Amino acid sequence: MANAAAPAPKQNMGEPVPRLDARLKVTGEARYPADFPVKNPAFAYLATSSIAKGRITRLDLDEARAVPGLIDILTHENTGELKNLKFGTAGVSTSIQALGPDILHDGQTIAVVLAETFEAAREAAHKVKATYAEQKPSATFGSPGLTEEDATKVSPTHKHVPHAGDAEAAIAAADVAIDVEYATPTQHHNPIELFSTTCVWLDDRLSVYEPSQFVYGLKNGVAQRLDIEPDKVRVISPYVGGAFGSKGGMTPRTALIALAARRLNRPVKLVVARDQGFTIATYRAETRHHIRLGARRDGKMVGYSHEGWEISSRPDPYVVAGVEESAHLYAFGAVQTKVNLVHADRNTPGFMRSPPVVPYIYALESAMDELAAKLDMDPIELRRINDTTTDPIDGRPYSSRSLMTCYDQAAQAFGWQRRGRQPGSMREGDWLIGWGCATAVYPTHIGAATARVRLLSNGMVRVQTAAHEIGNGAYTVIGQTAAERLGVPLSRVSVELGDTNLPPAPVAGGSRTTASTCSAVIKACDAIRDKLFRAAVTANDGPLAGRDAADLALTEGRVVAAGGAEEKLDDTFARLGASAIEEYAEFVPHGMKPESIKELYAGKSLGTGGPEGEKLMYALGAEFVEVRIHALTREIRVPRIVGAFAAGRILNPRTARSQLMGGMIWGIGSALHEATEIDPQRARYVNDNLADYSVPVNADIKELEVILVPEEDHDVNPAGVKGLGELANVGTAAAIANAVYHATGKRLRKLPIRIEDVLMA
Ligand code: MOS
């Protein structure tokens, strides 16, 4: 619960209010799920497999059981009562849910060790001895034993294969064409907050404290696995210390800890070790891309062909299939796409910041730069020539599209007109300078959402919705929305989130939280306003009697008419004989069915937007970077990055800017640092810790400028919001790769780009 302590009067939507949770977080008062005190907990520690493929033939637990303080050990031999759920149902992140005996990836959980202390549980877990019948695993692209299939045939999500005209023929006949391949690595989210689960039973009721991007999904999923009524499960997650997609689906651990707590008749707490977080949850899949583009001599594009390959686990058909978004980006002419699912002996991947466009837009935006170079054309010009306000696939209009405004503003701020066209033309002493740019794009997702809002006659407001504070500023923008709508300072608003005792909100994924939940909050506030205004105008006497309710406003504890007449809120409440009004509202986005609310309660977060619906809805941006590469050492630096972004209405420029900055910094990481290395022999992650998993540090980040391009969009949703949490890291990697080309004349088509790659090029 965040109680607003922010200074009045700048409380309304559009104001750069500091985050309501900022102080709580820097003082350590914000309570993350693992921080909740529970009485007399037992501690759990996971034992994980040391092979990637095979079968457990024997478990020797004697040594583990001898550890003082050991309570119990759950293994495949004694956990039969858990139901396995299929991938793609109830938000399950993987169908690999059992503790064995079959081993489908390295680091699979094979035992849950329970002890009186964390240390005892850890020690005993390391003494769990498994004997395996081991088979040789397939780790990565190029490994023997991979299987490949057309994703549309098996994926529960990739259904629409964008296609227009005859791309083969168009590209074959084009004046200028390119035919290129790109590669992106495995990445892990590595949120600072580790994965944790604490389960407490009270009679037949279960409370789960777990960081979650979708508490209603987790509630329903756990209930299904335990085969109990969802009503018996409560999930509590008021703060999430970073998630980026990794806490969106249900991992097997939750039901295991619930089961352990039920058996022990005692609360059980699990905090997963950092290295185990690499294998017991999801990650961003490794991908490959084959892109062909064709254009006329004047730059007008005639064809786009994009085939992608994504690695998944053996059993699960997980793909992001970003061609469903990339195919709408420009006036391509003909389009053809295909996505291939490649099965390896890996854990199942999942959403990671900015799916599905990362990594597909990296590939497309790199290819656009290659095409511009081949046309000897400025890369901005190529995008301008092929800009569009309608869908290249079927002609539907964009709800709004400010891409070229973003390019113009960012180019201006960056000083792009001073760029030398030829690669290698901007050297300064020993430093090769490269300037590159790329488009950022993210689909506008809107989900069904509900909210309960209460206004007291003294002007205090309480907002309740089971949305999620994942570091995005959800408490703040939701509070601002209610403050503005009910005409009170933000300091009088309290916001409650992240608890299934509250009315449901959609998954905090796909950058949908603000658009969805604020639309529900607006609806609840408007119902409160209606009640008050009707009471004021239908009164027998009083300053507002007989007026038109449509002319009234709520401001600072008064109901005010357009002409200046007003009455105190107290008095209006008195007319209703009430001291509080509470309204519950259900927001169903345009084009969605009313049943989507029922589905939401049942743990299914349905949404619309992006390429679906009558209009295309996308947030867009343009990013410009300068790289400097040392001529001798090939050290790569990014001294400057400028991004201009248009994402509908900006409810809070401070939180928006910080999301966009974070995104661009992540993009620098993706371009130059980040990769999970896998041992091709053992299919085991090698750098599964924060010392070896390389991410940018402060010294890597120099000048970084965010430009918010104003954009009005009345089609997207009542809040006018497109969502931007996942927008900014989308274009960065391509912009940097393009800048590396401009500095060196070498195309490096595999991320990340490191010193050795530039040396070898
Ligand atoms: Mo985001 S990966 O959609 O949580």
Residues 389-429 pLDDT 10s: 999 999 999 999 999 999 999 999 999 999 999 999 999 99
- Regarding the beta carbon of 725 and ligand 1, being less than 6 Å apart is answered no
Residue type, 657: R
Residue 648 burial (CB count, 10 A): 27
Of the candidates 611, 609, 619, the one whose C-alpha atom is nearest the C-alpha of residue 646 is 619
CA separation, residue 347 to residues 48, 246, 602, 684 (Å):
12, 13, 27, 10
Residue in this structure with the two tokens 């001898």, named with its chain if needed: 66
CA of 281 to the centre of ligand 1 (A): 14
Of the candidates 170, 178, 133, 240, the one whose C-alpha atom is nearest the C-alpha of residue 370 is 178
- Regarding the beta carbon of 352 and ligand 1, being less than 6 Å apart is answered yes
Separation CA 734–CA 749 (nearest Å): 10
**Residue 6 confidence (pLDDT):** 37
Query: For residue 72, what is the DSSP state?
Result: E
**How far from chain centre, in Å, is Cα 92?**
16
**Residue 113 confidence (pLDDT):** 98
CA of 734 to the centre of ligand 1 (A): 20
Burial (CB < 10 A; 0-12, 13-18, 19+), residue 26, is: exposed
- Regarding the beta carbon of 244 and ligand 1, being less than 6 Å apart is answered yes
Separation CA 53–CA 684 (nearest Å): 11
Separation CA 452–CA 387 (nearest Å): 42
Q: 179: part of which helix (H) or strand (E)?
A: strand 176-184
**Residue 11 confidence (pLDDT):** 54
**Residue 761 confidence (pLDDT):** 75
Of the candidates 457, 489, 460, the one whose C-alpha atom is nearest the C-alpha of residue 580 is 457
The helix-helix angle for 729-744 and 653-672 (nearest 10°) equals 50
- Regarding the beta carbon of 666 and ligand 1, being less than 6 Å apart is answered no
Which residues, in sequence order, are bridge partners of residue 81? none
**Residue 89 confidence (pLDDT):** 80
Separation CA 483–CA 557 (nearest Å): 11
In the numeric block, which tokens belong to residue 270? 């699990």
Residue 430 burial (CB count, 10 A): 11
Q: Would you say 444 and 574 are in contact if contact means Cβ atoms under 8 Å apart?
A: no
Q: Which residues, including other chains, have CB under 8 Å from residue 734's CB and lie 6 or more apart?
A: 361, 362, 363, 364, 365, 366, 369, 436, 438
In the numeric block, which tokens belong to residue 618? 């996308």
Query: Which position among 586, 626, 674, 726 bears the catalytic label?
Result: 726
- Regarding the beta carbon of 509 and ligand 1, being less than 6 Å apart is answered yes
- Regarding the beta carbon of 723 and ligand 1, being less than 6 Å apart is answered no
Separation CA 761–CA 746 (nearest Å): 7
Would you give the end-to-end CA distance of the chain in angstroms?
53
- Regarding the beta carbon of 510 and ligand 1, being less than 6 Å apart is answered yes
CA of 233 to the centre of ligand 1 (A): 24
Atom of ligand 1 nearest to the CA of 354: 2
Catalytic residue status for 726: yes
**Residue 9 confidence (pLDDT):** 43
Mutate to test the pocket of ligand 1, among 318, 444, 726, 729 (most ligand atoms within 8 A of CB): 726
Q: Which residues, including other chains, have CB under 8 Å from residue 28's CB and lie 6 or more apart?
A: none
In the numeric block, which tokens belong to residue 200? 């407490």
CA of 576 to the centre of ligand 1 (A): 44
Atom of ligand 1 nearest to the CA of 351: 2
Query: For residue 329, what is the DSSP state?
Result: S
Using alpha carbons only, give the angle 180, 185, 189 rounded to the nearest 5 degrees.
140
Residue 757 burial (CB count, 10 A): 17
Q: Which residues, including other chains, have CB under 8 Å from residue 80's CB and lie 6 or more apart?
A: none
Phi and psi of 302, rounded to 5°? -120, -15
Atom of ligand 1 nearest to the CA of 247: 4
Q: Which residues, including other chains, have CB under 8 Å from residue 523's CB and lie 6 or more apart?
A: 451, 585, 586, 587, 718
CA of 147 to the centre of ligand 1 (A): 27
CA of 247 to the centre of ligand 1 (A): 9
Separation CA 721–CA 712 (nearest Å): 9
Atom of ligand 1 nearest to the CA of 353: 2
Separation CA 668–CA 737 (nearest Å): 10
Q: Show the low-confidence residues of the chain (pLDDT under 50).
A: 1-10
Residue in this structure with the two tokens 């390959």, named with its chain if needed: 309
In the numeric block, which tokens belong to residue 143? 């490994």
Q: Would you say 516 and 507 are in contact if contact means Cβ atoms under 8 Å apart?
A: no
Which residues, in sequence order, are bridge partners of residue 624? 437, 642
pTM: 0.96
Atom of ligand 1 nearest to the CA of 243: 4
- Regarding the beta carbon of 189 and ligand 1, being less than 6 Å apart is answered no
Residue 702 CB-half CA count within 13 A? 10
Atom of ligand 1 nearest to the CA of 213: 4
Mutate to test the pocket of ligand 1, among 352, 472, 730 (most ligand atoms within 8 A of CB): 352
Q: Would you say 36 and 263 are in contact if contact means Cβ atoms under 8 Å apart?
A: no
- Regarding the beta carbon of 663 and ligand 1, being less than 6 Å apart is answered no
CA separation, residue 245 to residues 56, 349, 577, 760 (Å):
31, 10, 47, 35
- Regarding the beta carbon of 349 and ligand 1, being less than 6 Å apart is answered no
